[in-house]
Chains A and B, each alone.
Chain A
Amino acid sequence: MDTLPIFVRDHADGQLFPWKYQVEASKRFGLTLAQIEEVALERGILPARYQRNRTIISVSDQLTLFRSSVAVIGCGGLGGYVVEELARLGVGKIVVIDPDVFEEHNLNRQLFSSPENLDTAKVEAAARRIGEINPAVTLVPVQTAFSPENGAELLAGCQLAVDALDSIQVRLELAEVCTTLNIPLVHGAIAGWFGHVTTQFPGDDSVQAIYRSWTSGKGVEQSLGNPSFTPAVVASLEVAEVCKLLLGRGTPLRGRQAIIDLLSMEMHVINILEGHKETE
């Protein structure tokens, strides 16, 4: 009788495990695609879908990503691209939180929106999409609004959170919940041609520093709107930060804010914590 590890070994093409055998193993052994993926990765066999990751993400890194849980708060412009990129990267569990359904004004930029999806919950569309592009990833759709009351429960078990919200008030609340839970928060915000990104580590108050002069309401996105490309750029920068944090690689934007101007094609990186503390 074949065992799963033997099946994986015998059907690997070199160190790569083709998708069709991942599916066959799932049926033969009555396990999920995710369970097969973990068994393969544990034995140093890379599911072939990740082969172009391989130079920068080793098989053991890929296993680390597979065993990671990331919460994405907001599933609109930023959130759609963040969820898509995390799933393609191979992050094993993605919790996506958003109370809204797709509306017509989302169609210019929100990745999971389509004319057929109008009035469909954004998180439901996300679950369907991830089921199509990488069914070995577990996507947990949560159709509710993030708040200080439910935040700790929603983020429980996640190693880090990604801010894809469209409300400054809720961002500040999310940053506080992350501080309480002692997890990092990758923050992104957009308006028109512009955006910014930072990574708040536990104990830092980076998001509060960025919005220190905010009192109420929205930012300049209210008048500028958001085109198709700005969320894709800023979401991609956020996912690069997530990848680095999960793998303990590179230099994250800790205490620094990257400010992106796609109209002038400029990126400025400014310090947000030292000056912030000195002038308090």
Chain B
Amino acid sequence: MNITVKLFASFRAGRFDVETGDYPDGTTVADVADLLNLPQSELGIMMVNNRHVKLDYQLVDGDTLALFPLLGGG
């Protein structure tokens, strides 16, 4: 199935801004993060088609996943 992944802020470094790829059925948000080597402790907002999701959300064909890092500095 085709999933479009959009990365933001520091997640873009050494990866990409936006990329559409072929993923196996049943792929979750956590699987995509693992494939991209994004540590779970750094994950902030995660959205699929502009709706907030959690790590265990199962993606379906045509979904757009957006991942933002966790920012906490002041």
Contact = CB atoms under 8 A, between A and B. Distances in A.
B52 to A, nearest CB: 4
Contacts of B69: 191, 194, 219-220
Given A192-B10, A213-B43, A259-B68, A279 B51 contact: yes
Contact of A210 (B12, B44, B54, B73): B44
B55 interface: yes
A220 B9 CA distance: 10
Contacts of B32: none
A231 to B, nearest CB: 8
A191 B73 contact: yes
B53 interface: yes
B42 interface: yes
Nearest to B44: A213
B70 to A, nearest CB: 4
Contact of A270 (B12, B17, B45): B45
Nearest to B57: A279
Interface SS of A by simple majority: mixed
A33 interface: no
Interface in A218-275: 218-221, 224, 226, 231, 257, 259, 261, 263-264, 268, 270-272, 275
Interface string B22-59: 00000000000000000001111111001111110000
B71 A261 contact: no
B67 to A, nearest CB: 10
B14 interface: no
B72 A221 contact: yes
Given A193-B9, A210-B45, A219 B70 contact: yes
Given A220-B71, A275-B51, A278-B51, 8 more contacts: A189-B73, A189-B74, A194-B69, A212-B45, A212-B52, A259-B68, A264-B12, A278-B52
Interface of B: 8-10, 12, 17, 41-47, 50-55, 68-74
Interface of A: 74, 76-79, 163-168, 171, 188-196, 209-215, 217-221, 224, 226, 231, 257, 259, 261, 263-264, 268, 270-272, 275-276, 278-279
23 contacts: A77-B73, A168-B72, A189-B72, A189-B73, A213-B44, A215-B41, A218-B73, A219-B70, A219-B71, A220-B42, A220-B69, A220-B71, A261-B9, A264-B17, A268-B8, A270-B50, A271-B50, A272-B45, A272-B52, A275-B51, A276-B52, A278-B52, A279-B52
